[in-house]
Amino acid sequence: MNYEEFPVFIPFGTDHLCAIVCAPTSANDVDLGAVLLTGGNYTRTHRNRMWVKAARALAAEGIPSIRLDYHGIGDSTGTAHFELEVPFDADAVCAAEFLQKATGVQYLALAATCFGGRGAMAAAAQLPDAVSATIFPVPLVVPKETKSLRFRARVKTRLRQFKVTSALLERPSVTRTRSRIAARRDDSADQVSPRFKHDLLTFSRRGTVRFVFGEDSPDLPGLRRCLAEIDDRLTDQQKTRITLDLVLGTDLQRFQSLSDQEIVVERTVDSVAETARTLALQRTG
């Protein structure tokens, strides 16, 4: 066995985040840790234990990692409310800082799927030691702010006061349906997430971002639109730090097939390991 795993409960305000730290057993000079983030409807193991496999493969590369349950999910305490423009970046930052203290690594790489990509991008922009982010298909198209949208938001806030309707709003199927409806709107009715664009612009000034999307992903047009809208605000150096890894023959959406799950694990380990190699070259060069 080339790894050890430690279950932990990390203080998170008045709540606690349940997480698993996976660390290599042998000493090494890799100064990088990985934060593995799921979509909102998965616990820390991810689908068919994808993050367990990724964490142990990273440990074989000498890279410690942390995988977590968001607040209100799995074994973490609290209540989770899912809004595309309100990512769980505080959870990611909390877990990342704990990983640094627990393992002694300085630098951080984040990897995330679906809704977790929002939190990963926001957390990467905030964490001064984050150096790379690997983002799998993530919904980026949101409705524009309008009077009717504000009215619906007020109605939804009132509905949350009742347990039955609040539980319905938080169902992953409802969240996905709302995302698909937003993605089908005309350009005049929707927009690329302003916050995601801001976080991507901020982080790409110092870190690398690798988007891994299936060629048939329904979220791919939103990503292309995002990159086109920020193109004139990126420096040449920033443009080299943002890459799109397009996986042919799949939509890579919700990871329903074993082959898609293997792609997620392999691309995650490859991206984080490449980041570690780049850091090592910079130290010796």
Q: What is the mean pLDDT of residues 14-21?
A: 97
For residue range 108-152, list pLDDT tens digits in order.
999 999 999 999 999 999 999 999 999 999 999 999 875 444 445
User: Which segments of the chain does DSSP mark as H helices, in order?
Assistant: 50-60, 89-103, 116-126, 147-159, 163-169, 172-183, 194-203, 220-230, 236-241, 258-284
What's the pLDDT at 149? 46
Q: Which position has the higher pLDDT, 182 or 239? A: 239
CA distances from 116 to 25, 100, 123, 277 (A): 28, 20, 10, 25
CA 129 to chain centre: 16
For 55-105, how does the pLDDT look when each residue is reduced to its tens digit (9 = 90+)? 999 999 999 999 999 999 999 999 988 888 899 999 999 999 999 999 999
Q: By CB neighbour count within 10 A (0-12 exposed, 13-18 middle, 19+ buried), where does 141 fall?
A: buried
The domain segmentation of the chain, as residue ranges, is 3-140+193-284, 141-191
Q: For the chain, what is the radius of gyration of the CA atoms? A: 19
pLDDT range class, residue 26, cuts 50, 70, 90: confident
> What pLDDT, in 10s, does the model give residues 151-165?
454 555 565 566 666
Burial of residue 225 (CB within 10 Å: 0-12, 13-18, 19+) is middle
Nearest to 22 by CA among 36, 37, 34, 6: 6
- List the one residue out of 96, 91, 87, 105 whose CA is nearest residue 200: 87
Backbone angles phi, psi at 212, to 5 degrees: -115, 105
Domain spanning 3-140+193-284, CATH architecture? 3-Layer(aba) Sandwich (3.40)
